[in-house]
Structure 1
Amino acid sequence: MQPDLSHAGTASDAFICVLIGVCVSAAILWALLKTGLAWRLATDIPNDRSLHTRPTPRVGGWGVLPALALAIFLYAPNFRLIALGALLLGVISQIDDRRGLPARVRFGAHVVVVAAGIALSVVGIAWWMAVLAAFALVWVVNLYNFMDGSDGLAGGMTVFGFGFYAVAAAVLQPTLTVAAAAVAGAGFGFLIFNHHPAKIFLGDAGSIPLGFLAGALGFWGWQHGVWPIWFPAGVFAPFVADATMTLARRLARGEKVWVAHREHYYQRLVRLTESHVHVAVAYYLLMLGSGCVALLALRVPPTVQWTLFGAWYVVLALVGWQIDRCWRQFILTQGNDIDAN
């Protein structure tokens, strides 16, 4: 996909896309809640693995996807096909939310859309790098879904992550800035209803497409020289580190990673602090730090870039180690009255 110089994108376009994203997303979600349709479309019923205690609609995607798609189709035509792929994933995920789909069907859809996204964005890399990129993007697609369990968390990551994408692309690829701004705006419209106490969650129809967009726009930016290959993983570092480490530990224990659990660091923090607000603020600070470090690293030589990138992940590892230490102490003090997971 080559840049469309006939519609280069401007700061005003990006601002308009933010407004479209916020207003359209918030209006749709308000209407779904006001009419009660949100509960009929898809509702998350609390269980022993949940962090919330009351049934909550998980239809955030119904507001986020139309909002970002409208803004991208109007102001960032280069990314219409990528937005279309996100919409397709949203439809498949909504069917899964309502009726349930076999894992092979869901995973197959993820692979097909990711492969199409890579084909649309690739400029010139070896086939094996394209395969590795596909694996990484499929992981990111599902990563977002794993992190949609605490009030304000996934919505905040959308605003911060895509917001930093927009800032980083402003000079070299303004149309990418416009597309990222559209997603950030739609995420903010959702966050209005997702902050504590959450009135709505993303659900698969929102988290799966957002994960795809995080990976697809990040890959496009790398292929078109907007940022180095590490940049997307730097911007979304808190989500990448939390989900990846949790998955690795469960795989090492031979557990079924697709089964619901409460082992993510954010889940343990909520249980330790008994506060969704405190956890959201902590992750917002980590997200802000991740984005600032990533932007700073763009201004230094490549060797220093990788050093800063690695150092930030070391910081996140230390944060995770501290959470694990506090969690073990918590388990010891609670004895057999609490499930270690």
Structure 2
Amino acid sequence: MTVALSSLLAAVVSAAGAAGLLWLLLRTGWAWRLATDEPNHRSLHTRVTPRVGGWGIVAGSVLALAVSGVAPPWALPAAVLVGVSFADDRHGLSTGLRFGMHFVAAAALVLLAGLPGLWALPVAVLTVWMTNLYNFMDGSDGLAGGMALSGFGACALAAAAAGEPELAVPAAALAGGAAGFLVFNLHPARVFMGDAGSIPLGFLAAALGLEGVLRGVWPAWFVPVVFAPFIVDASVTLARRMLRGERFWQAHREHFYQRLVRSGFGHARTAWFAYALMATCAACALLARALDSAWTPPLLALPAAVLLAAGLWIDRRWRAWNDTQDIR
């Protein structure tokens, strides 16, 4: 079986497994027993919602990998993050314990990759950042699932084109699991992803990116560009909060996507707006990887310009909306 067919099979199996498990959890009521999200003053939703979507993505992906016979080396640290994050979804864990386990998983990834000491620390720190930024961005219907579908889908296409099943199949499985999850997460969402989904997905984006670079499948910029809509939003928001001297580690509602929803754009339109940004970044990254290097600068400049324009537009819309609130 070709790499492309193996990847397609993995995506289909994962999507069916994820959707099937989530349907079963909702149908039996177990979704509300496992973990729920209670609305609070920082939430964008107003009703109690199960946050078990991550279990669908994980189950679908594991099923797909079992069928394909592919066993990624970073599966064990990812599995540890799933367990820790599910415990956090159910009972709430201390910030120190959560971040400690994130660093343990990042250190395991660095060791498995055999990176020299000079690169080990910065790669581990970037892995922890990627692990958490995905969780930061999981706050609106359809958003994190869409990023997983677009981001891991692009990785699967690039790896399949390079004839690398060890990368293509896991990426396709994650993209398929995200598609199965989105069946229940598009607005109005019936399930949320939860930390058991968002934390491992961030880690796996970093793991796939690193493995692809080491194998020569894609350049170092490829995965950051593919996931740029999440990376830019989370990073710019964090930098702004730090510059204002705020407690940047605390939950808030100041991300670009949160401002867009709160200013009246709504969950559905915000998701589709984000999908357009994701598709632009993924397409430009895939083309820049495939074409002659002379095309790389303009193809990377385009998503940068699009994201900058989107951010400026959201900021302007946010200020205008705040002005109307002051008048009222």
Q: Which deviates further from its counterpart, 157-166 or 300-309?
A: 300-309
CA distance in 2, matches of 1:162, 1:131: 25
Equivalent residue in structure 2 for 1:99, among 91, 95, 112: 91
How many correspondences in the alignment? 327
CA distance in 1, matches of 2:317, 2:154: 31
User: Is 1:221 aligned with 2:212?
Assistant: yes
Paired letter, 2:29: G
1:1-341 correspondence to structure 2 within 5 Å? 10-75=3-68, 77-79=70-72, 81-122=73-114, 126-172=116-162, 173-302=164-293, 304-306=295-297, 308-335=299-326
Can you give the 5+ residue segments of structure 1 that lack an aligned partner in the other structure? 1-7
Paired letter, 1:160: S
Secondary structure of residue in 2 paired with 1:192? helix
Deviation, structure 1 residue 284: 0.6
Q: Which deviates further from its counterpart, 323-332 or 193-202?
A: 323-332
Paired letter, 1:59: V
Q: Which deviates further from its counterpart, 45-54 or 192-201?
A: 45-54
CA distance in 1, matches of 2:49, 2:16: 22
Deviation, structure 1 residue 116: 1.3
Paired letter, 1:69: V
- For residues 76-124 of structure 1, the C-alpha deviation after alignment (integer angstroms, 9 at most, x for no partner) is 5341x322322210110111122222212111111111121222234xx
Q: Is the 8 A contact 1:140 1:215 kept in 2?
A: yes
CA distance in 2, matches of 1:107, 1:166: 29
**Could you state the TM-score of these two structures normalised by the residue count of structure 1?**
0.91
Deviation, structure 1 residue 131: 1.7
Q: Which deviates further from its counterpart, 201-210 or 296-305?
A: 296-305
Q: Is the 8 A contact 1:76 1:175 kept in 2?
A: no
Q: Is the 8 A contact 2:7 2:160 kept in 1?
A: no
Deviation, structure 1 residue 303: 6.5
Can you give the 5+ residue segments of structure 2 that lack an aligned partner in the other structure? none
Deviation, structure 1 residue 251: 1.1
CA distance in 1, matches of 2:74, 2:110: 10
Secondary structure of residue in 2 paired with 1:98? helix
Percent identity for Structure 1 against Structure 2: 50
CA distance in 1, matches of 2:183, 2:128: 28
Q: Is the 8 A contact 2:14 2:57 kept in 1?
A: yes
CA distance in 2, matches of 1:313, 1:104: 34
Q: Is the 8 A contact 1:141 1:209 kept in 2?
A: yes
Deviation, structure 1 residue 316: 0.7
Paired letter, 1:86: A
Deviation, structure 1 residue 74: 3.6
In the superposition, relative to structure 1, how do residues 303 and 250 fare at CA in structure 2: closer, same or farther (>3 Å)? farther
CA distance in 2, matches of 1:152, 1:284: 9
In the superposition, relative to structure 1, how do residues 336 and 33 fare at CA in structure 2: closer, same or farther (>3 Å)? farther
CA distance in 2, matches of 1:144, 1:336: 36
Secondary structure of residue in 2 paired with 1:162? helix
Q: Is the 8 A contact 1:22 1:188 kept in 2?
A: yes
**Could you state the TM-score of these two structures normalised by the residue count of structure 2?**
0.94
Q: Is the 8 A contact 1:246 1:263 kept in 2?
A: yes
Q: Is the 8 A contact 1:69 1:84 kept in 2?
A: no
Q: Which deviates further from its counterpart, 127-136 or 321-330?
A: 127-136
Q: Which deviates further from its counterpart, 111-120 or 326-335?
A: 111-120
